[in-house]
A and B are shown apart, each in its own frame.
Chain A
Amino acid sequence: MTDLLAQGPLPTRERRGFSSHPIWLCGLLLALTLGLALTDLGRRLPTGEWLQGIANPVDGDMAQLILHYSWLPRLCMALLCGAVLALAGTLMQQVLRNPLASPTTLGVSSGAQLGLLVATLWAPWALDYGREWVALAGGGVAALLVFALAWRRGLAPLTLILAGLVVTLYLSALNVTLMLIQQQDLNAVFIWGSGSLSQNSWGGVEFLLPRLGLGLLLLLPLLRPLALLELDDSGVKSLGVPLRFLRFVTLTLSVYLAACVVSVVGVIGFIGLAAPALVRLLGARTFAQRLRWAPVLGGLLLCVTDLGIQRLAGNLAELVPTGAATALLGAPLLLWLLPRLRLAGGQPQSADSQHFERHPFPARRLAPLALLLGGVLLIALGLGRGLEGWQFSLTDIAVLEWRWPRVTAAAAAGCMLALAGCMIQRLTGNPMSSPEVLGISAGAALGLIALLFLLPYSGPLAQLALGGLGAGLTLLLLLGLSRRSGFAPEKVLLIGISITALFDALQVILLAGGDPRGQNLLSWMSGSTYFVGPQMAIWVLVCSLLLLAASLPFGRWLELLPLGDGTPRALGVPLGRSRFVLLLLASLLTAGATLIVGPLSFVGLLAPHLARLLGLARAVPQLLGAALLGALVMVAADWLGRTVLFPAQLPAGLLASLLGGGYFMLCLYRR
């Protein structure tokens, strides 16, 4: 197997010929759009009535009315939204010099969603002014938060993406919490969240058009300085471009554009990421070319998807929201494209990567951490709420019997996630990676969803098996696809993001379908230790300790791999093999943890960072410190989840996201 994993990148074949210009794909998509639209039109109305229906429908003729008020606005909306999202994505990718940037990366979507949830629950009067405004406000606040976090670093690309990711995860956690507690009130937000293009008047188009016009007008003076961003930071500065100002203005503009779309049709995540990437792959080398072609491609992509869904799904069309479907189709597309995507690889990420103090005696840091963990464990086991209010007891067997498996499992899962996070961050040389970014958690979760719907009432053993299978398949996919590039960090990350998008889409479809089984899914996905019994707890504990022991010998590899391709190879590290082994280990760790606390958690990202902040810079001390910290955070989160809203219980994974996310944002801001 390791023979297959080439040591270092294979020479990539240059593809030339018919596929080397975006116009070919756009033409193909246009033909598809026209074909689908015309045949659809033909089935709705006789040819003679087309003009009448489009321009001026007869009162009472439902077929013509539907054409005029529903079918046509939907078509326009798809083209418009796709184009705008692609434009926003192109701008963001240019200004951040990061192919992973997209409107959703900066927290706009989750902010808008949270705004709507909060308004629905506590300020319904605000919705009477229009959902758009509420969503715009939420998205705007989220984006401002992201900018504020990255402001001190001059809105440097990596910091900004990291801040966006953190804010997104944080807001998603809040969203899930609200949905978990108040599901019945929030169905409308589920539908909106899944990106439904369905229209019943021209209101949406009328809302969107003037706002987009304004946005485009503001964009014009920015075009020239933006094109200069092909150079590096110092080069741009030497040409007299105020870099921070340019970034801020351009990003504000793209957030505004994206928020407008998001507020009308909901989250359509993948277009903003995929369209600019596709155009680049198809040979649009300059910014001007990308700016011209990405919106065309984005609009057509969304349109074809939407028409295709209406055709294929028939009666079920409303159950498959277009936004989710774009992700379902787009994710495999991106996976297919990845080996063909040319990215700067193998170098340390960026000049602004973080620098941490190193503590000379790691043991002096680790010992207090271990003591702290012990204290938290005692509190988590002893202190709780019951019929008579708060009680502390370490001898009440009736209560301990319920608590110890949950506490143990939380500690073990936190530890595993932290280890996986350490490895993945060192492996990819990228501080924004974590187990969930790699997509392994999502893979395990996909397996579990499949089980939930195929065999709704199965036991934990079947869940373990299918979750493990999902994680394993994701791992294989990951290995197969990244082999060609010698596991270049960006590609591994992109693959992970695609898989996560696939999973998100599926989850959104399931939730928007309104199936009450979705509630179970939601509870599991937010990471609850509720269903852990004694056997499972012991199993997880043993598992985590074994994997911890297995990780420590790889300290040297983990030390050298973040240095890029050159240094480790010169020092005799077998690149392909070492990455394979570490990926495998990280995947096992992630799968084990995901089965307990679900895919949504912050610990894999948080714990390694905290360990480094404490001065545990070398690989082995960092692994140990992160493991302790991961367990600490997860146990604290589990305890809070059990007590804060008693008798209702919030999942540990969710609380960990809220706890860790808040702290993480603080660190990011102070830095």
Chain B
Amino acid sequence: MRWLLCALALVASLTHAEMRQPRIAVIDWGLTETLLGLGVTPIAVAQTEGYRRWVQAPELPAEVIDLGLRVEPNLELLSQLKPDMILITPQFAASRPQLERIAPVHTLAIYTPEAEAYVGAQRVTRELAALLGRLVEGEAMIARIDANMVRVKQRLATQALPPFYVMTFLDQRHVRLFGKQSIYQGVLDRVGLRNAWTGPTNYWGFTQQGIERLAEEPTAALLYLEPMPPGTADGLASSALWQQLPAVREQRLYGLPPVWSFNGLMAAERFANLLEARLVSENER
């Protein structure tokens, strides 16, 4: 009987918590993504349009209010919304003193010089889960994504895959190469692939290079994330050097749909799944 009462109380407290879900405003897309992954919908997010275009998944519900630019979230609007808490990353810390006048501000950093981004993303997921009293969901999310990495690793293990340059095109002469400290490095490590770029990278784990650098590892394949800037495809078609790159000549070129390169675990999961879909289908065809 006592056990039943306990269970009832637990259920009641859970539904109560469900009803009194905190009103959260988020300034960063990576935190928005993690929040949605935990099953919490924020009331307001900065640059919702940009999130829908560049991050895409998990989908942002239509009723979420746009706070304006991430560097300058609209303070008058925010104070009218009366959020219970505001989530930011150190990148947008400049507006912290202003935001603190509205609601408690929590700064969470996925990208730090100390740890790789994947580990940082796990830590932020736990911090966020603790903040919202959703520890169970947080651990479940981390475990699910880890398990997914293992699954993708097993799927890919059956094939002999080359090392990969992971990149986005900036124009027909320049690419951003992702390496150490990037979220993609974490994924590549966990699904058993090798990153062809081992050179230095910046705080966010990328470096900007001319396309001739892609010849340095002749056996590597090129993995680029869409969208390509307008005009780039034509430019590459008429570029002698590009056409002569070993990976291009031997058709080791893979395009993937957009993933936001500065996000957390959800982006990692999305990247791993896209990778699996592309590489497996490619080689079974």
How far, in whole Å, are A517 and B204 apart by their CA atoms in the complex? 10
Is B203 in contact with A649, judged by CB distance below 8 angstroms?
Answer: no
A533 to B79, CA, bound (A): 15
Enumerate chain A residues within 8 angstroms of B232, measured Cβ to Cβ: 188
Query: B34-42, B123-131, B170-178, B182-190: which one contacts chain A?
Result: B170-178
Q: Is A188 within 8 A of B93, CB to CB?
A: no
Q: Do B91 and A386 touch (CB < 8 A)?
A: no
The reply to whether the CB of A513 lies closer than 8 angstroms to some CB of chain B is yes
CA distance A513 to B200 in the complex (A): 14
The interface residues of chain B lying within 8 Å CB-to-CB of A131 are: 231
Q: Which of A14-22, A65-73, A252-260 contacts B (4 or more CB under 8 A)?
A: A65-73
A200 touching B241 by the CB < 8 A rule? yes
Which of B5-13, B94-102, B132-140 faces chain A? B94-102
Task: Known A201-B239, A456-B90, A520-B91; judge A402-B171 contact (CB<8 A).
Answer: no
Residues of A within 8 A of B81 (CB): 387
Does A181 sit at the interface, judged by CB under 8 A? yes
Smallest beta-carbon distance A135→chain B, Å: 12
Contacts of B212 in A (CB 8 A): 66, 70, 200
Interface string of A54-92 (1 = CB under 8 A from B): 000001101001100110000000000000000000000
Decide: A315 and B199 in contact? CB cutoff 8 A.
yes
Given A515-B203, A530-B95: A188 touches B240 (CB 8 Å cut-off)? no
Q: A399 on the interface (CB 8 Å rule)?
A: yes
B231 engages A200 (CB within 8 Å) = no
CB-CB nearest in chain A for B54: A184
A184 CA to B174 CA, complexed, in Å:
15
Are the C-beta atoms of B173 and A196 separated by less than 8 Å?
yes
Stretch in contact with the other chain, from B63-71, B268-276, B277-285: B63-71
Residue ID in chain B nearest A200 by CB atoms = B241
- Residues 217 to 266 of chain B near chain A (Cβ within 8 Å): 218, 229-232, 234, 238-242, 244, 246, 249, 262
Q: Are A69 and B241 in contact (CB under 8 A)?
A: yes
Chain B residue nearest to A125 (CB atoms) is: B230
**Interchain CB contact under 8 A, A200 and B204:** no
Q: In the complex the two chains form, is B202's CB within 8 Å of A649's CB?
A: no
In the assembled complex, which residues on chain B have CB atoms less than 8 Å from the CB atom of A69? 240-241, 244
Closest Cβ–Cβ distance, residue A513 to chain B (whole Å) = 7
Q: With A191-B171, A386-B80, A523-B71 as given contacts, are A62 and B246 in contact (CB-CB < 8 Å)?
A: yes
Q: Which residue of A lies closest to B175 (CB)?
A: A318
Considering only CB atoms, which chain B residue lies closest to A62 in the complex?
B215
CB-CB under 8 A from A151, the residues of chain B are none
What residues on A are CB-neighbors of B229 within 8 Å?
120, 185, 187-188
Task: Check A649 against B210 for contact (C-beta < 8 Å).
Answer: no
Residues A201 and B241 in contact, CB atoms below 8 Å apart: yes
Given the complex, which residues of A lie within 8 Å of B76, measured CB to CB? 384, 386, 399, 402-403
Proximity string of chain B (152-172) to chain A, C-beta cutoff 8 Å, 1 when within and 0 when not: 000000000000000000111
Using Cβ atoms and an 8 Å threshold, which residues of chain B touch A528? 72
Contacts of A70 in B (CB 8 A): 210, 212, 241
Query: Beta-carbon contacts of A370-393 to B below 8 Å, as 1s and 0s?
Result: 000000000000001011000000
Taking the complex as formed, is B74 at the interface, i.e. its CB lies under 8 A from any CB of chain A? yes
Range, interface on chain A = 35 or more
A373 to B185, CA, bound (A): 57
CB distance from A120 to the nearest CB of B (A): 6
CB contacts (< 8 Å) of B211 on chain A: these are: 200
Contacts known (A200-B173, A200-B242); A184 close to B50, Cβ less than 8 A: yes
B75 at the interface (CB under 8 A from A): yes
CA A185 – CA B275 in complex, angstroms? Answer: 24
Q: Contact string, A296-334, partner B, CB cutoff 8 A, digits 1/0?
A: 000000000000000000011111000000000000000
**Contact indicator B209/A523 (Cβ below 8 Å):** no
A520 to B174, CA, bound (A): 24
> Does A192 lie within 8 Å of B171, measured CB to CB?
yes
B206 on the interface (CB 8 Å rule)?
yes
Report the minimum CB–CB distance from A445 to chain B (whole Å).
15
Closest to B50 in A: A184
Complex contact A533–B208 (CB within 8 A): no
- Would B69 and A180 count as touching, CB distance under 8 A? yes
Best-buried of B176, B206, B207, B212 by chain A (most CB within 10 Å): B212
Q: Does B77 contact A (CB under 8 A)?
A: yes
Indicate if the CB atoms of B170 and A188 lie closer than 8 Å: yes
Chain A positions within 8 Å of B, measured between CB atoms, are 59-60, 62, 65-66, 69-70, 119-120, 124-125, 127-128, 130-131, 180-181, 184-185, 187-188, 191-192, 196, 198-203, 315-319, 384, 386-387, 398-399, 402-403, 456-457, 459-460, 512-517, 519-520, 522-523, 528, 530-531, 533, 645-649
By Cβ-Cβ distance, the 4 closest A-B pairs, closest first, are A124-B230, A127-B231, A200-B241, A647-B68
